[in-house]
């Protein structure tokens, strides 16, 4: 294979796209980038410096500083940072800076799995495979709720559901690069599916694309 092989995975919060993407990257020997972490890194930088999330110039500065090799999921995966990330990601100038870096990542051989909100539509419109992973808001809220309890935390299901619905509305309703399936994406509704079943369904799609490319 000469040109890099790229798999674009998009979907809403808690759809399971992160787990799926990591497994696909391992299975096919590709690099993996969780692009949500790059928006989270910008939000975290602003929060740490006590700067406003609405300050586009400062957010662009922070975006330029983001180093994909140094993204720490432990620091960045808090609820507060996720909410802030969804607010800084509406700034078009922030998106431009991060999208360029994400494209550079995707261009390196042997290729990569990128997951996010706009990978199939904006970042890698020529991706070899595009998956749109989703599940009903209730199922996603239930998954996140169980995950928090499993890790020993406390959370209320109703509050998580409200949060997911608010985040969906913001991510799908923004003017620049809203979350939506690319026209040529494969829809994977995981509402009634285990992680294993979703993984196997995705592999079947990837295998077909690999067969066509080779």
State the residues that interact with ligand CDP by CB under 6 A. 13-14, 35-36, 39-40, 82, 85-86, 89, 116-118, 167, 171
CB 32 within 8 A of CB 21: yes
Q: Which is nearer to ligand CDP, 17 or 186 (CB)?
A: 17
Q: Where are the alpha helices (DSSP H) in the chain?
A: 17-28, 35-48, 56-65, 73-76, 79-88, 92-107, 137-150, 157-173, 195-213
Q: Find the shortest distance in angstroms from Cβ 110 to ligand CDP.
A: 22
CA distance 34 to 10: 10
CB 36 within 8 A of CB 85: yes
CB 9 within 8 A of CB 121: no
Q: Which is nearer to ligand CDP, 136 or 213 (CB)?
A: 136
Q: Find the shortest distance in angstroms from Cβ 194 to ligand CDP.
A: 19
Q: Which is nearer to ligand CDP, 52 or 78 (CB)?
A: 78
Q: Which is nearer to ligand CDP, 167 or 186 (CB)?
A: 167
Q: Which is nearer to ligand CDP, 172 or 187 (CB)?
A: 172
Residues in the chain: 214
Q: Find the shortest distance in angstroms from Cβ 13 to ligand CDP.
A: 3
Tell me the three-class secondary structure of 8-36, residue by residue: EEECCCCCCHHHHHHHHHHHHCCEEEEHH
Q: Find the shortest distance in angstroms from Cβ 128 to ligand CDP.
A: 18
Q: Find the shortest distance in angstroms from Cβ 4 to ligand CDP.
A: 19
């Amino acid at each position: 294979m000469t040109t890099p092989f790229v798999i674009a995975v998009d979907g809403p919060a808690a759809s399971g796209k992160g787990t799926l993407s990591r497994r696909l990257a391992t299975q096919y020997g590709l690099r993996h980038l969780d692009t949500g972490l790059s928006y989270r890194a910008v939000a975290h930088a602003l929060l740490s410096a006590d700067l406003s999330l609405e300050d586009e110039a400062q957010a662009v500065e922070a975006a330029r500083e983001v180093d994909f090799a140094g993204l720490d999921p432990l620091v960045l995966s808090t609820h507060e940072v996720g909410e802030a990330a969804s607010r800084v990601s509406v700034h078009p100038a922030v998106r431009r800076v991060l999208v360029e870096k994400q494209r550079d990542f995707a261009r390196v051989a042997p290729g990569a799995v990128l997951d996010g909100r706009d990978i199939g539509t904006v970042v890698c419109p020529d991706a070899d495979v595009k998956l749109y992973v989703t599940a009903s808001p209730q199922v996603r809220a239930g998954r996140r709720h169980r995950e928090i309890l499993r890790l020993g935390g406390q959370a209320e299901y109703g509050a998580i559901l409200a949060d997911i619905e608010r985040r969906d509305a913001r991510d799908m309703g923004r003017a620049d690069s809203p979350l939506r399936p690319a026209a040529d994406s494969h829809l994977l509704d995981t509402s009634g599916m285990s992680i294993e079943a979703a993984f196997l369904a995705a592999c079947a799609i990837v295998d077909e694309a690999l067969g066509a490319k080779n």
